[in-house]
Amino acid sequence: MSRFIQIHMLTSYPPACLNRDDLNRPKTAKMGGVQRLRISSQCLKRAWRTSGLFQEAMAGHIGTRTKEIGRAVYEALTKGRTVAVVLDAIVNHRKVESSELTLKIVSEKDANDWAQAIVGRFGKREKADQKHPLQELETGQLVHFSPEEIGRIAQLVEMVRDRGKGPTAKELELLQKETEAVDIAMFGRMLTKGTGEKDEEKGKTNKGESLTEFCKEAAVQVAHAVSVHEVAVEDDFFTAVDDLNRGEEDRGSAHMGETEFGAGVFYSYICINKDLLVKNLQSNAALAAKAMKALVEAAAKVAPSGKQNSFGSRAYASYILAEKGDQQPRSLVVAFLAPVKGPDFVMEGIAELRKACEKMDNAYGPCVADSKEMNVPTGNGKLDDILGFVAGA
């Protein structure tokens, strides 16, 4: 069995603003002495794992990342609902209907105390204030809950509701068991139980202690995607016209604005540690293979959602090189230290990738045991071949 699966992709995006910085500009990076467009790994991973394609393929094995599980527990207890009903209402931004399952109602004090106990099991809590008294029911950090953990929380809520007494320490410990959430297995999870705030009495900062029983080392590494060529970020000046303005007094627009954008061919790199992924999924090799296949298909087809309504910048990968083997992985971004000059950035990018592979193999010996290629411009290879290659690695 090959330990590492590596994916190298070239994807051409038209004018777009797929991933923005704090100034609302497309993210960039300086590489090879010139400016490149950049899509962060965080942006890519969220786009893939929340895509309909990935969600459908991995149904039942997808986690939920939230700070509001304590609020869901509190509302379930004080409004006589199940945790599932409340979470569904939160996710879909709707109110819980009065006709939905009504259960025993718990006092606000008991519900608050029990919810805090459950939330505390998953790390530090937020501090409450007078304006937001229920804020202490939120976790102090985003927590990625697996379906199994949410199910166990729901079971515990019904137990304490029925007996009228809060959860025991042993019951709280049982909230953590091994899971088969593929997104947590792939992208990892880090939780701490410290406050991360300054202790005025001791005069030092509590940096937080890792909750190792909940932590999961990521089996998938995703690089920031960068354009293979130099890019200048441009301004799009736009206006909006009032449909009822007949131009009798004012012929101007009703609104003027400006947004920044860029276009480019991006190099993306993914490295999957299959052994670790199988381990994270409780030795379920079949689920790991299915998850890898879904991830690669999403990476090839799913674009980040930033400004999609304004630019319609959806794109499929033009080129994919999949590799497998036990050798130490390596990115091929070095192929683009010197920016591709064009005019056909895709074909020239493919040529540079192949050259980089050949030179690496000449210097280090064969860097991979086997590979598979899909080249859309030349009509060689199919995505199904790539997915079969990855799933059967």
Report, as an integer, the average pLDDT of 228-237: 92
Q: Is residue 10 part of a domain?
A: yes
Query: Does 211 map to a domain?
Result: no
**Is residue 313 assigned to a domain?**
yes
Please tell me whether residues 13 and 81 are part of one structural domain.
Answer: no
CA dihedral sign of residues 377, 378, 379, 383: negative
Name the pLDDT band for 130 (thresholds 50, 70, 90): low
Question: What are the pLDDT digits (tens) for 321-368?
Answer: 999 999 999 999 999 999 999 899 999 999 999 999 999 999 999 999
- Pair (28, 97) in one structural domain: no
Instruction: Say if residue 123 is in the same domain as residue 229.
Output: no
Sign of CA dihedral 47, 357, 342, 23: positive
In a domain, 364, yes or no: yes
94 and 163 belong to one structural domain: yes
Least confident of 82-96, 119-133, 317-331: 119-133
Same domain, 275 and 386: yes
Q: Express each pLDDT in 40-62 by its tens digit.
A: 999 999 999 999 999 999 999 99
| 73, 94: one domain | yes
Sorted by sequence, the CB contacts under 8 Å of residue 323 that are 6+ apart come out as 5, 6, 7, 8, 367, 368, 370, 371
Give the count of domains, the chain: 2
Both 166 and 53 in a single domain? Answer: no
Residue 188: inside a domain: no
The Cα 181–Cα 75 span in angstroms is 25
Q: Which domain holds residue 111?
A: 64-180
pLDDT mean across residues, the chain: 88
Together in a domain, 238 and 166: no
- Across 267-276, average pLDDT: 98
Examine the domain organization and report whether 52 and 101 are in the same domain: no
Going by C-beta distance under 8 Å and a sequence separation of 6 or more, which residues neighbour residue 124? Answer: 139, 140, 141, 192, 193, 194, 195, 196, 208
Whether residues 368 and 237 share a domain: the answer is: yes
Domain boundary among 126, 161, 180: 180
Instruction: Examine the pLDDT at 198 and tell me if it is beyond 50.
Output: no
Q: Is residue 187 part of a domain?
A: no
Instruction: Say if 34 falls within a structural domain.
Output: yes
Check whether residue 104 and residue 32 sit in a common domain: no
